[in-house]
A = this chain, B = another copy of it.
Amino acid sequence: MDTKNYSRHIELNNAVILDGFWSDVQKTVNSKVIPYQYEALNDRIENAEKSYCVENFKKASEIVRRLRNGEKPPVYPVDKWCYDENNSDENAFHGWVFQDSDAYKWLEAAAYSLQREFDSQLYDRCTELIDIICSAQMENGYLDTLYIINDRDMAFSNLRDFHELYCFGHLAEAGVAFYYATGNKRLIWAAVRFADLICEVFGENGKAGYGGHEIAELGMIKLYEATGKEEYLKAARLFVDRRGTRPFYFDIERGITTDGLGYKYNQAHLPVREQNEAVGHAVRGVYLYSAMADLSRLTNDDSMYEACMRIWENITQKKMYITGGIGATVDGEAFSFDYDLPNDLAYCETCASIGLIFFARRMLEIKANAQIADTVERALYNTVLSGMNIDGDRFFYVNPLEVLPKASREDSRKHHIKTTRQKWFGCACCPPNLARLIGSLGEYCYTENDDTVFVHQYIGSSVQTKFGRLDVKSHYTENGHIEITADCQRPFTLALRIPSWCDEYKISANAEIKDGYAYVGITEKCELLIDFELKPRLVKCSNLVRENTDKLALCYGPSVYCLEAVDNGDNLQLLKLDLSTDFECGYTWCTQSNMPIPTVVANGFREKPDERLYSDFASSKQIPCKLTFIPYRFWSNRGETEMSVYFRYTE
């Protein structure tokens, strides 16, 4: 068993991001994404798929009013995952069954924004939305608009498919965030009322259920940490411990007996401590694993931690793309089998990489390990940021590593691979999830315990630790130079992650290296200079991944790079990097967003297209050319174009 060195993330009001790169992203989220998403929740974006989110809360509020008046509102079927004008009554619930959660995620993102910089207009919008939400809560605390609008009596009757426990989890997270950010208790109070009902229904002597889509576990844990009420921690543990035990609750709900393999999708096929492999819907998976890690930390549960480690290693050693994307298959938005990581069919949902970061932070809080923090970095700088365009008003749900626009149009197997970011999605989990992660980025950079502050991510920031203030100036992505000023109130150890991509680094102090961290003793106010040598690196993927043999990827610091046809011409498979090349780093101007995009230019060759479909082997003719790479996160900001992360090479 590993030696643990528990630490806790630093609360958001103590970790303010002040970073050339990330402050811009946060500003985009504040100024563009949050207002834009508010319009989307209210169905005011032209030509975008409708959300119905706020509309549902208003309908539910009306139902609750009528119930209070002793009326009997009509009943509509709850029999689908998605409802619209064509398949349901106009007075019934509309949108996806988990639509409430978009409002909660938006409120959580807005809370982080308010915490960073109070904005009375945004605060008013939030409280107005919270009013609508609270008015939709039933007297017993129940709060899920699908069942409130369509069929009150059927609440909690199909936990496998319908997302009321999921919506509760997001309500709890939003409630806690909004309370911490503003002191306003209205939303957390709604969450507490709903949590109390859930504890009553699913407590130790209640139904042995758990949600088909995990996150109630994380919500309960956050409520426990905010309120101190043990009941909520217990509920989280019950949800996790019951999962996948026999008889399967999802069988009981249906009055059938199965072998449970169908519940792999929900990670409910085996008790969690017996799970060795990440399976099923990827977002659900990482939300469960995050809760398992939290429970392991909170209750010092070794067997739970071991399960977390096995799953963590399975994901990061066998099921994760170089971009930090997870969930290789569109079928069930799921993890595929080991080493099945097709580039052009990838799913890599933005939310799944966000969830992977949630899981990673919690694992780091149990034991600092640079491989885990590296994975946060990998997901953050690549798949997560790829989820949003530079302007902050278009989003990717799916983040492939190779795109041929023609294939996305003509090949039904690739219809999930969008070639340009979308305005909004009917199933819009990703954009608000992205907003809440970016908004709470401060929580992912540092953890601290009784003697150590861990720096996991080098993002410029000002941090209030137990030992005094840390001021971090970071040029991490530009040149690898970081300056940390430690205003030492009492001696402590500063543990600095050494990125796995860095072979050469300098730290202006004596350091002891352990588990990928440089441990530096700080006894007085001081300034540390850190230099990570940044250079383009050629990275290979294991030859157990069939797709990438005889190919390479280019990485530069934390960023994975890619080729786009807009820079390199069509048929990217004709390009070959010359291994003896030098690399030239520069910029190309993105006229669409009026911003420079970093480039790495290398020497290579472009094969001439072979004229005959089949011919006796002979090397194809090739001519020297330049290969221009851009960071993967910026792909598809300059129109629809072929893209590939992996490329061929020649000695």
Nearest-CB residue, chain B, relative to A612 = B542
Q: 1/0 per residue A306-321: CB within 8 Å of B? A: 0000000000111010
How many angstroms from the CA of A581 to the CA of B146 in the assembled complex?
A: 67
- Nearest-Cβ distance from residue A602 to partner chain B, whole angstroms: 13
A544 at the interface (CB under 8 A from B): yes
Given A340-B407, A552-B617, A648-B550; A571-B542 close (CB under 8 Å) = no
How many angstroms from the CA of A340 to the CA of B537 in the assembled complex?
A: 31
How many angstroms from the CA of A472 to the CA of B237 in the assembled complex?
A: 80
Contact call A614/B539, Cβ cutoff below 8 A: yes
CB-defined contacts of A539 to chain B, threshold 8 Å: 614-617
Given A573-B546, A618-B540; A613-B331 close (CB under 8 Å) = no
A interface residue numbers (CB < 8 A to B): 316-318, 320, 322, 329-331, 336-337, 340, 345, 404, 406-407, 410-413, 537-546, 549-550, 552, 571, 573-574, 607, 609-618, 620, 648
- Nearest-Cβ distance from residue A23 to partner chain B, whole angstroms: 29
Nearest-CB residue, chain B, relative to A406 = B337
Contact call B336/A614, Cβ cutoff below 8 A: no
Contact call A543/B573, Cβ cutoff below 8 A: yes
Nearest-CB residue, chain B, relative to A378 = B614
CB-defined contacts of A537 to chain B, threshold 8 Å: 616-617
Contact call A412/B329, Cβ cutoff below 8 A: yes
CB-defined contacts of A336 to chain B, threshold 8 Å: 410-411
How many angstroms from the CA of A614 to the CA of B322 in the assembled complex?
A: 7
How many angstroms from the CA of A610 to the CA of B550 in the assembled complex?
A: 13
Contact call A616/B538, Cβ cutoff below 8 A: yes
Nearest-CB residue, chain B, relative to A319 = B613
- Nearest-Cβ distance from residue A331 to partner chain B, whole angstroms: 4
The residue that A340 contacts in the complex, of B411, B538, B615, with Cβ under 8 A, is: B411
The residue that A574 contacts in the complex, of B345, B413, B543, with Cβ under 8 A, is: B543
How many angstroms from the CA of A406 to the CA of B338 in the assembled complex?
A: 10
The residue that A345 contacts in the complex, of B320, B413, B552, with Cβ under 8 A, is: B413
Most buried by B among A318, A322, A615: A615
CB-defined contacts of A410 to chain B, threshold 8 Å: 336-337, 340
User: Can you name 9 A-B residue pairings with CB atoms under 8 Å?
Assistant: A330-B413, A331-B412, A340-B411, A404-B546, A537-B616, A540-B616, A542-B615, A550-B550, A552-B617
Contact call B607/A543, Cβ cutoff below 8 A: yes
Contact call A337/B407, Cβ cutoff below 8 A: yes
How many angstroms from the CA of A494 to the CA of B617 in the assembled complex?
A: 32
The residue that A544 contacts in the complex, of B337, B609, B648, with Cβ under 8 A, is: B609
How many angstroms from the CA of A519 to the CA of B620 in the assembled complex?
A: 34
CB-defined contacts of A612 to chain B, threshold 8 Å: 317, 542
Nearest 9 A/B pairs, CB to CB: A542-B610, A538-B617, A331-B412, A550-B550, A546-B573, A540-B617, A337-B410, A542-B613, A543-B610
How many angstroms from the CA of A542 to the CA of B404 in the assembled complex?
A: 17
The residue that A331 contacts in the complex, of B331, B413, B574, with Cβ under 8 A, is: B413
CB-defined contacts of A610 to chain B, threshold 8 Å: 540, 542-544
